[in-house]
Each structure stands twice: as structure tokens, then as C-alpha cells.
Amino acid sequence: MKPYRLLLPIAALLLLGAHGLRQGDFGLVASLAVLAGLLCTRRAWVRPVVIVALLWGGVVWARATVDFIAFRQAFELPWLRLAWIMGGVILLDGLALVSMFGRAFDTWFDRDREWAGPRAAMFLLTVFGLAMARSKVSFPILLADRFLPGWGWLEICLLGLYAQWIGSLMRAPKGHRKIRPRIWGLFSGVFFLQLALGLLGMDRMLMTGNLHLPVPAMILAGPVFRGGGYFMLVLFGVTLLLVGPAWCSHLCYIGAWDDAMSRLGAKPAPGRGLRTLSFMGRGAALVIAVGAAWVLRTLGVPGSSAVLFGAAFGLIGVGIMLFFSRRKGMMVHCTSFCPMGLVGNIFGRISPWRMGIGADCTGCGACFTRCRYNALDKERLALRRPALSCTLCGDCVSACAHGQMRYVFPGLSPEIARAVFIVLAVSLHAVFLGVARI
């Protein structure tokens, strides 16, 4: 394809950017310029992204046309010439859109074709999630908007690029196993760095300025004590619906610590004692956390004192990571102590995602030494499904030389199920990276 054919979509994107400039949305202008530049990279995932951008552009132009004409009519000003100009702009956008479906572009976008769909989906879902958060919240939720007003869209675009990039690294099961702990640790690091800076006086690094404890049990115990403030609980529930219990393997700001500690220890080995604690230990912790919150509320204990109980609970958890997870090579904190882990494992079943073990499993046990959630042993292999503590981390998939460990979703082949799962998990991760702070 001759590169001049790129001129039409590039012009349409830049014109849309110019419209953003009128509203002082410099980030949008920069993002659309980045997108126009990406057209030249020939990466196949860029094509569906540009198509969606041009479709969205058509809606923006149509709305602007109606508004401009209504404004002129209200002041009895001539509007026919304006209508022609806007019609021309819409036509340009439409022609650019149609050209993107043309055969010429089939040959142009010849790089990284294998996972073009998932990569585009990760970019678009991240952008959609962050744009929704930005438009629905009454304060600037993105850091870019706080420090450089009007540049939020650029942060959104960069996080979309980041999502499709890490997603591409996770295409192979080995890549997923390697990248997951890193991006999980990165998220936790960014989350706690913002908290530390906020506590040191940089208020803008905090969400609202209302501090609360970054202890997962407080997601449930907090609302019980306060009688309100369900934001985190709703967020937790949404992730359960979308990716089942994968909050505890991809998204939790504390779970990443337990994961890191367990990696300092021996290779994971399944244990019966831990399996018992998976339900009993976490069940007891759940009763204690929620019961204590209810008692403290009933007694009218002020929040400043109640917070000490929450902090003590969190410190016990850190102690468990340091002394047990580190030694055993298992995520003892998450699988035996954290109440939200149990809630995630049980209510995560609402979502159809499962880890399946194929009929041709030889029982070799290679996957045992990968599972830090103590969800696999000979008994579970015979049953052809991991134990309740499975969080869909995916580490066992690359361990099985026979390809018998797989993501399962009704109606999807294992390959597609795995791709869809990664798209959802990575998009949630990128959105959390942009908005999750205390």
C-alpha cells in the first residue's frame, strides 16, 4: 500500500484533535496525534483502535453540529454555511472510517498480527474504563488532571498503550507467569508510594483526603463499622463478576506482598494443614474482622480508636507473610488468613471463569510446584479441578507440558478463554493503576 493512503485517517484524527483544542483538552489532542503516529507503525492492533476512534469521532461531530446549529438558531444567526462545513467534516471522518476497512490496509497492517484483537481490546477497554471514571467522578481522579489540568486524556492514552504492551508480553503462558508478579508488584508499589507521598503532605496524591487503612479485610469490615462507604466493596464485587477470584492474583495491593514473600522461599509444595486453614482459618478471620467492626460500632467507639484494631489485624497479616509465606514458598497470608481471599474464592464462583484440568492429565505433578495458592495436589488432579483457593493466577498453565491446565469459560475454546481472561485482567490492572489510591 502506498503510504499516502494514510493521509485521510491521519487528517480525520488531527481534525478531531483540533476540536478538543477548542475545549482546552490538550491531552486529547496529544492522544489523537499519538494515534495518528501509531498508524505508521503498521502494528495490526492499531487498526481496530483507529476504527473505534473514527466511529467515536463521527458521534462527536454529529453532536457538535446539532449544538452549533441550535446555538445559531437561538440567536437567529445564519447557520446554513455552518451546516455545510460540518457536513464536510463528518464526510471526511466517514471516508476515513470506510478507508480503514479497505483491502489496501490489510497489507499495510502486517506486523504483530497474532494477538491484534486482544491487544486492541486491552487498549480500548482501558481507555473506556478510565474515560468513564474521569467523566463520572466530581473531582479530578487522574493524576495528570491534578498536576496538569486538561492533560488527563494523555494519561489515559499512555495507560492504554501500557495495557496492550504488557498484554502482548503475556500472550504465551510463560510470559503470563513471568509478567504477572511484576505488574502486580508495580501496582502495589505505585499504590503505596502515592499513600506515602500523601501522608508526607502531598494531598494531591490521595483520592479524597479521607484516609482509611489499606488492609483488605477493611473492604468488608469498614462498611460494617461506618454503616456506609461501599465504594471498595462495589469495586471488589465488580472484579469478582468480571474475573472471578483473580483480584487475589492480579489486583490486590497487599496480595502482591504475599506473592513476593512466597517467592523468596522454597518451591511451593501442597500441604493438608494449609488446605484446612484455607477455609477454617480465613473463615475465623472473617468472623473476627466483621464481628469486631460490628461490636466497635455498637459500643460507639470512635473511628480514631477503631483504626488501631484494623492496623493490628493488618500487622498480624504482615507477620504471617514474613514468617510463614517466606519459609513455605506458599502464599500463607492469602490462603490461610485474609478474609477477603475467602470471600473472593467463594463469591468468585458467581463468575463462570474456572481453571480446568484436561482428561489427558498424566498426574505427573509438575504443576504442584507452581501453585502458591495450595490449590493443586494428587487428589485435586484426580477430581480434575483445583481446590477452592485457586485464584486463576495461571502459573500452572505453563508448567504442564501436556497442555492440560487451562482456563475454562462456557462456550469458549481454552485458547480464546485464556485470551479473554488476560484482556479483562490486564485492562482492570491498567485502570486500577490510573485510579486506585487512598
Question: Rule CB under 6 A: which residues touch ligand SF4?
Answer: 216, 248, 252, 254-255, 258, 334, 338, 340-341, 344, 355, 370-371, 373, 375-376, 386, 390-396
Nearest distance, CB of residue 54 and ligand SF4, angstroms? 39
Distance CA 217, CA 343 (A): 10
Amino acid at 246: A
Nearest distance, CB of residue 179 and ligand SF4, angstroms? 15
Residue 44 vs 334, nearer CB to ligand SF4 = 334
**Local structure of residue 58 (DSSP, 8 states):** H
Nearest distance, CB of residue 269 and ligand SF4, angstroms? 13
Residue 140 vs 214, nearer CB to ligand SF4 = 214
Residue holding cell 478471620?
Answer: 285
- Write the DSSP string, 155-175: HHHHHHHHHHHHHHHTSSHHH
Nearest distance, CB of residue 318 and ligand SF4, angstroms? 10
Nearest distance, CB of residue 175 and ligand SF4, angstroms? 15
Nearest distance, CB of residue 315 and ligand SF4, angstroms? 13
**Local structure of residue 43 (DSSP, 8 states):** B
Nearest distance, CB of residue 381 and ligand SF4, angstroms? 10
Nearest distance, CB of residue 274 and ligand SF4, angstroms? 13
Cβ-closest residue to ligand SF4?
Answer: 255
407 forms beta bridges with 355
Residues found in the chain: 438
Residue 292 vs 392, nearer CB to ligand SF4 = 392
Residue 328 vs 370, nearer CB to ligand SF4 = 370
Nearest distance, CB of residue 371 and ligand SF4, angstroms? 3
Residue 393 vs 423, nearer CB to ligand SF4 = 393
Residue 160 vs 223, nearer CB to ligand SF4 = 223
Amino acid at 31: S
Nearest distance, CB of residue 251 and ligand SF4, angstroms? 8
Residue 195 vs 371, nearer CB to ligand SF4 = 371
Residue 131 vs 318, nearer CB to ligand SF4 = 318
Residue 232 vs 431, nearer CB to ligand SF4 = 232
Helix (H) or strand (E) holding 357: strand 354-357
Residue 133 vs 388, nearer CB to ligand SF4 = 388
Which of 278, 280, 402 lies closest to 332, judged by CA? 278
- Contact, 163 vs 120, CB < 8 A? no
- Contact, 259 vs 272, CB < 8 A? no
Cell of 292: 469486631
- Contact, 143 vs 27, CB < 8 A? no
